[in-house]
């Protein structure tokens, strides 16, 4: 077994590998760019080596820097994580030349499966079901148009060396092809250094279901079942689970058998994933094979009990698999939510900056199951514009799917992040979505369920009343504490009993009685004057951002932010401001004027911090609704900004190559 390994990656996956290495008694070496000098993976590792400036192309993507770091530290093997160099055939070959072991598949398997065009040819030869399409490289836009016409729209324009949704566009008609083809090429070139493109049919009503395979260097190959990855946005996975709520055992084993056959065809000897598109009749088609560890591997680990990183290390060291196909069983259900630094209220645009507060829920066993949080950040750390905006992967495991979803929702409620925007409210909305809970999923789920974008989740009447009780409790605890401060000039007045909690243009009458900080009773008052007591048991203190309590005997977590204009409550995907008044003050508050937001309808604002790739219009030009105005790149993804309606360009304030802040004015309309 290795004594020291180097992790050629960053963020949560580097931290994840370090944890298993530590468990196995193996020393770890981290590598870092200038942007990551204070990162968590650097602190966790036994050693760390600086490899260059922030851009990945000048640091994490340079194989010679990794090789030099191995020589410097004496690392015997390298785990590549995912992304970066993990699927480049030249990387393990470069390591082999200096006697360093690659913790991943052999170069031949990477070559055969890492190229999407060649992998489809090989899969077809191995009699694996494949998606209808043109198996070959597309020479240009005209070629792509001809192929799309033959296949029939919609089609997918896809980078051959792509992954993670980069270099991929769904094209609905011929008019969209030129822009989609160019953007896919640009993203592929920037992310993978390879701009080859192919075209295939876009399967309607598809599910994205993948099979985890594991092989060793002695010819043994097994599968560990499937992961359901259909909840995607912009072709990037957002929520994953294992097993799939759609597959029966017959289909599961048939997909597993095809995945194993494909792996054996290329002598696959590590952990890898065979991705399939599955239609509504459980017909499945090979999509691609990822010759690396997947982001969503924790859900497979939770339901099978197999540490995939450990298996990768052992196989790389030459050991035989200690488990056979008969040893694999699936217990319970696991759900994973990817928590990103992005603003769901602004079309999920990336958010960068410092994590002023980062308080994830407690990990480990709970009464309902297991909570696991894979992360690579820490409170006070910074989310950089140079890399993927993932903050963490929150996983829950329970006996059933409904229980795992309920536990995930509870854990998301308790996940407190401040300083940047994040997608936790959106993830909560999905957890509470009836279609998601019923398991009726497709890759179009988000677009279909949130066609106008995400604007928060509506509170149910019962939840709103419960939050009103929580707000009253928080206000009462503050008042009671202030009345117990010693040395006051005069004795404080007794706490008033009647209050009004204003939430979402509705008033909730509340009765409060308190003998001490620990003895506060809350009652909701109905229109008929009848009171219904709400039992709240908690040790919450005003300095704590998460209010954890038993409310009427049920566990509840509410994020609390006390401001001058009220108490901001975040729960279940909803964020509301509760204002707690005395009855007369509530009447006067309704007379206060409402501040009107400034009119920005004639401005094109930069939706995220990013680099201007192109300005596609000129001053005086007439544009139609939907026409491309500009393209902005942020976190390795190109974002096309289009006109919302017809208009004339009056002024252009930015040019190609400019770095813009969020809300910077790109251009103005007449």
Residue bearing the bigger pLDDT, 204 or 646: 646
Residue 636 has pLDDT above 70, yes or no: no
Domain ranges of the chain: 4-103, 104-129+203-331, 132-201, 337-452, 461-483+493-589, 603-669
Q: Are 209 and 284 in contact (CB under 8 A)?
A: yes
Per-residue confidence (pLDDT) for residue 58, from 0 to 100: 95
Q: How confident is the model at residue 320 (pLDDT cuts 50, 70, 90)?
A: very high
Per-residue confidence (pLDDT) for residue 431, from 0 to 100: 96
Per-residue confidence (pLDDT) for residue 400, from 0 to 100: 97
Residue 517 has pLDDT above 90, yes or no: no
Q: What percent of the chain has pLDDT over 70?
A: 99
- pLDDT tens for each residue of 256-301: 999 999 999 999 999 999 999 998 889 899 989 999 999 999 999 9
Beta bridge partners of 556: 549
Residue 311 has pLDDT above 70, yes or no: yes
- pLDDT tens for each residue of 147-161: 999 888 889 898 887
Q: What percent of the chain has pLDDT over 90?
A: 72
- pLDDT tens for each residue of 5-25: 999 999 999 999 999 999 999
The topology under which CATH files domain 337-452 is D-amino Acid Aminotransferase; Chain A, domain 1 (3.30.470)
The architecture CATH gives domain 461-483+493-589: 2-Layer Sandwich (3.30)
- SS3 string, 574-608, reads EEEEEEEECHHHHHHHCCCCCCCCCCCCCEEECCC
Distance, in Å, from the CA atom of 215 to the CA atom of 173, rounded to the nearest integer, reads 42
- CB proximity list for 64: less than 8 A, separation 6 or greater: 94
Per-residue confidence (pLDDT) for residue 292, from 0 to 100: 96
Average pLDDT over residues 462-487: 91
Residue 217 has pLDDT above 70, yes or no: yes
Per-residue confidence (pLDDT) for residue 211, from 0 to 100: 98
Distance, in Å, from the CA atom of 597 to the CA atom of 326, rounded to the nearest integer, reads 63
Q: Are 511 and 531 in contact (CB under 8 A)?
A: yes
Q: Are 381 and 11 in contact (CB under 8 A)?
A: no
Per-residue confidence (pLDDT) for residue 346, from 0 to 100: 83
Average pLDDT over residues 557-562: 94
Q: Which residue has the tokens 């809300």?
A: 663
CATH code of the domain occupying 132-201: 3.30.1490.20
Residue 116 has pLDDT above 80, yes or no: no
CATH code of the domain occupying 104-129+203-331: 3.30.470.20
Selecting among 241, 288, 336, 342, the annotated active-site residue is 288
Give the DSSP letter string of 30-61.
EEEEGGGTT-HHHHHSSEEEEEESSSGGGTTT
CATH class, 4-103 region: alpha beta
Per-residue confidence (pLDDT) for residue 188, from 0 to 100: 87
- Is 288 a residue of the active site? yes
Q: How confident is the model at residue 551 (pLDDT cuts 50, 70, 90)?
A: very high
Residue 474 has pLDDT above 70, yes or no: yes
- pLDDT tens for each residue of 577-615: 999 999 999 999 989 888 888 888 899 999 888 899 999
Supply 1's token pair: 């077994």
Supply 209's token pair: 């279901």
Residue 398 has pLDDT above 90, yes or no: yes
Q: Do domains 104-129+203-331 and 337-452 have the same CATH topology?
A: yes
Q: What is the pTM of this model?
A: 0.82
Q: How confident is the model at residue 458 (pLDDT cuts 50, 70, 90)?
A: confident
Residue bearing the bigger pLDDT, 94 or 515: 94
The topology under which CATH files domain 603-669 is OB fold (Dihydrolipoamide Acetyltransferase, E2P) (2.40.50)
Per-residue confidence (pLDDT) for residue 491, from 0 to 100: 66
């Amino acid at each position: 077994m290795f004594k020291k390994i180097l992790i050629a990656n960053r963020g949560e996956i580097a931290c994840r590998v370090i944890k298993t290495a530590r468990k196995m008694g193996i020393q770890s070496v981290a590598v870092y760019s200038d942007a990551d000098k204070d990162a968590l993976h650097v602190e966790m590792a036994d050693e760390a080596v600086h490899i260059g400036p922030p851009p990945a192309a000048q640091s994490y993507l340079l194989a010679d820097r990794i090789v030099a770091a191995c020589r410097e530290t004496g690392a015997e093997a390298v785990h590549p994580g995912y992304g970066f160099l993990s699927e480049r055939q030249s990387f393990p070959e470069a390591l082999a030349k200096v006697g360093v072991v690659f913790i991943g598949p052999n170069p031949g398997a990477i070559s055969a499966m890492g190229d999407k065009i060649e992998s489809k040819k090989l899969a077809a030869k191995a009699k694996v079901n494949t998606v209808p399409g043109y198996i070959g490289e597309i020479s240009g836009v005209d070629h792509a148009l001809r192929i799309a016409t033959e296949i029939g729209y919609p089609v997918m324009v896809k980078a051959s060396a792509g992954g993670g949704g980069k270099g991929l566009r769904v094209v609905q008609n011929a008019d969209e092809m030129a822009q989609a083809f160019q953007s896919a090429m640009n993203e592929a070139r920037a992310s993978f250094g390879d701009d080859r493109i192919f075209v295939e049919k876009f399967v309607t009503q598809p599910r994205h279901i993948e099979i985890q395979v594991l092989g060793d260097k002695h010819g043994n190959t097994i599968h560990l079942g499937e992961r359901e990855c259909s909840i995607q946005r912009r072709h990037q996975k957002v929520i994953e689970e294992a097993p799939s709520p759609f597959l029966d055992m017959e289909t599961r084993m048939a997909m597993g058998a095809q995945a194993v056959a494909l792996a054996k065809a290329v002598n696959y000897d590590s952990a890898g994933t065979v991705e399939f598109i599955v239609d509504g009749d459980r017909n499945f088609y090979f999509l691609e094979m990822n010759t690396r560890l997947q982001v969503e591997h924790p859900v497979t680990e939770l339901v099978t009990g197999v540490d995939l990183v450990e298996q990768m290390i052992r196989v790389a060291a030459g050991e035989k698999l200690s488990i056979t196909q008969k040893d694999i069983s699936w217990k319970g259900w696991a759900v994973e939510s990817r928590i990103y630094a992005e603003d769901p209220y602004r079309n999920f645009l990336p958010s960068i900056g410092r994590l002023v507060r980062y308080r994830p829920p407690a990990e480990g066993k709970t009464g309902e199951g297991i909570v696991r949080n894979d992360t690579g950040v820490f409170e006070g750390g910074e989310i950089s514009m140079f890399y993927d905006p993932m903050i963490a992967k929150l996983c829950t495991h329970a006996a059933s799917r409904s229980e795992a979803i309920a536990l995930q929702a509870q854990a998301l409620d308790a996940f407190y992040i401040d300083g940047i925007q994040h997608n936790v409210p959106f993830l909560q909305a999905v957890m509470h979505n009836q279609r998601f809970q019923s398991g009726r999923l497709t890759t179009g789920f988000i677009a279909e369920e949130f066609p106008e974008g995400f604007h928060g989740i509506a509170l149910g009447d019962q939840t709103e009343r419960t939050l009103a009780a929580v707000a009253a409790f928080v206000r009462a605890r503050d008042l009671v504490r202030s009345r117990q401060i010693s040395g006051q000039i005069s004795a404080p007045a007794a706490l008033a009993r009647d209050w009004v909690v204003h939430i979402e243009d509705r008033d909730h009458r509340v009765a409060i009685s308190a003998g001490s900080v620990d003895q506060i009773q809350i009652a909701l008052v109905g229109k008929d004057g009848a009171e219904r007591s709400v039992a709240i048991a908690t040790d919450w203190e005003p300095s704590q951002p998460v209010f954890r309590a038993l409310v009427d005997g049920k566990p509840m977590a509410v994020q609390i932010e006390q401001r001058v204009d009220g108490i901001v409550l975040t729960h279940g995907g909803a964020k509301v401001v509760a204002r707690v008044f005395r009855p007369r003050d509530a009447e006067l508050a309704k007379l206060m004027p409402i501040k009107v937001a400034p009119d920005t309808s004639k401005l094109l604002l930069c939706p995220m911090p990013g680099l201007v790739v192109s300005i596609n219009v000129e001053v005086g030009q007439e544009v139609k609704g939907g026409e491309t105005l500009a393209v902005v790149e942020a976190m390795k993804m190109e974002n096309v900004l289009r006109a919302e309606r017809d208009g004339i360009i009056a002024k252009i304030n930015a040019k190609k190559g400019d770095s813009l802040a969020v809300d910077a004015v790109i251009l103005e309309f007449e």
